[in-house]
C-alpha cells in the first residue's frame, strides 16, 4: 500500500515578493509551511541580497516549473561608483577603487553596447559549475579558475534614475542566464570606473510581475485568517505563452489516463495558427481545469504532463 504523502494536496503558484537577506530555498520552505503543501519549488533563484519576484510552485504547479526556467526576466538595480568588489555587490571585499564618477549621459551612451545578444562572463561568485564544483565554492576557497563567456540576450536597458553622483539606477529586460552583476562589472570597465551593485530587485519573471507579488508578512497574516487560497494563482499561470484548447469531458478523461486524443481538422488548423517558434505544446483545458500539457502531432494530442486535481 502506497504511503500517504504528508501535507495538503494544494496546487498553484504564489508570486512572492522575496525580502532582502532571505535565500530562495528558505523562502520556498516558508511558503510551503504556511500552505502545509505536499511539495513546492521555485522558478529561478534570487540571491539573498536581492528582493522582488520569486514565483513559487505548490503541488501540481511544480510540473510547470521547467517551462518557467526559460522565461524572460526584468530587473531594477542600483550601481554605486567608486569601489569594485570580489562578489561584484556591496557585501564583497574591495578589489579596486577610483574617483571616476560617470555621468548619466555617459552611462546612457554606453548602454546600447549591452543590448541584444552579447557575450557575458558570469561572476566568480555564481552557481556556474567548474569541473563539477560551484564557482562560488571555488572562489570562497581562494581557488584560481576562469569562467568562459556565454551568450545571453538583453532585450532593453535604460537609466531610470540618477539620484546623486555616486549612484545610478538601471532597468533591464533580459533572457535566461543573464547576470546583473556582470553587466555592472563590464559597464564600469567600459567607462573606466570602479563599481558594484548596491541594490537589486527583480520586477518580473515571465507572467509573474510586481503587480501580483505578495510579501511573506501578508501571507502570514492571511494564514491567520485562513484566507491563503485567495492569493493562490492557477497552475496554468506559468503556461501563458502556450495555446489553450478546450476539450470534452471524455477527451479530458483519456488525456488524464495518459492516452492520446484525435483532433478534428478545425482544431488542428486553429492550433497551427497559434503555435509559434516550432513549438507543438498545447494546454488541454476541461472548462477552467488544466488537464494536461500535450504535444500536437499528426492530428493527435499526445499527453506530455498530466495534472491531478485535488
Q: Cα dist. 295→62, 244, 285 in Å?
A: 19, 12, 14
Task: State how far the alpha carbon of 283 is from the alpha carbons of 175, 210, 305, in Å.
Answer: 23, 25, 10
Q: Mean of the pLDDT values across residues 167-177? A: 97
- Mean pLDDT along residues 260-284: 86
| Mean pLDDT within 84-99 | 95
CA 264 to chain centre: 36
Q: Could you tell me the pLDDT band of residue 4, with boundaries at 50, 70 and 90?
A: low
Annotated catalytic residue within 47, 89, 251, 286: 47
Please state the pTM of the whole predicted model: 0.90
Looking up cell 504547479, which residue turns up? 61
pLDDT at 101: 98
> Could you give the domains of the chain?
12-71+208-237 (3.30.2350.10), 73-205 (3.30.2350.10), 242-306 (2.30.130.10)
Question: Is 241 known to be catalytic?
Answer: no
Q: Are 173 and 61 in contact (CB under 8 A)?
A: no
180, 75 Cβ separation under 8 angstroms: yes
pLDDT digits (tens, 9 = 90+) for 30-56: 999 999 999 999 988 888 899 999 999
Place of cell 546583473: 180
Question: What pLDDT sits at residue 5?
Answer: 66
The per-residue pLDDT for range 194-227, each reduced to its tens digit, is: 999 999 999 999 999 999 999 999 999 999 998 8
pLDDT category at 1 given cuts 50, 70, 90 is: very low
pLDDT tens profile 9-37: 899 999 999 999 999 999 999 999 999 99
Asked whether the beta carbons of 180 and 52 are under 8 A apart, the reply is no
Residue 175 and residue 158 in contact, taking contact as beta carbons nearer than 8 Å: no
Q: Would you call 232 helix, strand, or coil by DSSP?
A: coil
Residue bearing cell 499526445: 302
Highest mean pLDDT among 93-107, 120-134, 296-310 belongs to 93-107
pLDDT band at residue 310 under the 50/70/90 scheme? low
Amino acid at each position: 500500500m502506497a504511503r500517504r504523502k504528508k501535507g495538503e494536496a494544494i496546487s498553484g503558484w504564489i508570486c512572492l515578493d522575496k525580502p532582502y537577506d532571505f535565500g530562495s530555498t528558505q523562502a520556498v520552505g516558508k511558503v510551503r509551511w504556511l500552505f502545509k503543501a505536499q511539495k513546492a519549488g521555485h522558478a529561478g533563484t534570487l540571491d539573498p541580497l536581492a528582493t522582488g519576484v520569486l514565483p513559487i510552485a505548490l503541488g501540481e504547479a511544480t510540473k510547470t516549473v521547467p517551462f518557467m526556467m526559460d522565461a524572460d526576466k526584468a530587473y531594477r538595480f542600483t550601481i554605486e561608483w567608486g569601489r569594485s568588489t570580489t562578489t561584484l555587490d556591496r557585501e564583497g571585499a574591495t578589489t579596486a577603487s577610483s574617483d571616476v564618477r560617470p555621468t548619466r549621459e555617459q552611462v546612457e551612451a554606453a548602454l546600447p553596447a549591452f543590448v541584444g545578444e552579447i557575450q557575458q562572463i558570469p561572476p566568480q561568485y555564481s552557481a556556474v559549475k567548474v569541473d563539477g564544483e560551484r564557482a562560488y565554492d571555488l572562489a570562497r576557497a581562494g581557488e584560481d579558475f576562469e569562467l568562459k563567456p556565454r551568450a545571453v540576450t538583453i532585450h532593453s536597458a535604460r537609466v531610470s534614475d540618477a539620484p546623486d553622483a555616486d549612484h545610478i539606477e538601471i532597468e533591464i529586460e533580459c533572457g535566461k542566464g543573464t547576470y546583473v552583476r556582470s553587466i555592472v562589472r563590464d559597464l564600469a570597465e567600459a567607462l573606466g570606473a570602479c563599481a558594484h551593485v548596491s541594490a537589486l530587485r527583480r520586477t518580473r519573471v515571465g507572467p509573474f510581475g510586481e503587480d501580483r507579488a505578495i510579501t511573506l508578512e501578508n501571507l502570514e497574516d492571511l494564514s491567520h485568517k485562513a484566507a491563503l487560497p485567495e492569493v493562490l494563482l492557477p497552475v496554468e499561470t506559468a503556461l501563458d505563452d502556450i495555446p489553450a484548447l478546450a476539450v470534452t469531458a471524455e477527451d479530458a478523461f483519456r488525456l488524464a489516463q495518459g492516452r492520446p486524443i484525435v483532433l478534428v481538422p478545425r482544431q488542428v488548423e486553429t492550433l497551427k495558427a497559434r503555435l509559434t517558434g516550432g513549438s507543438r505544446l498545447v494546454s488541454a483545458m476541461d472548462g477552467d481545469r488544466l488537464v494536461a500539457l500535450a504535444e500536437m502531432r499528426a492530428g493527435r494530442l499526445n499527453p506530455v504532463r498530466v495534472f491531478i486535481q485535488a
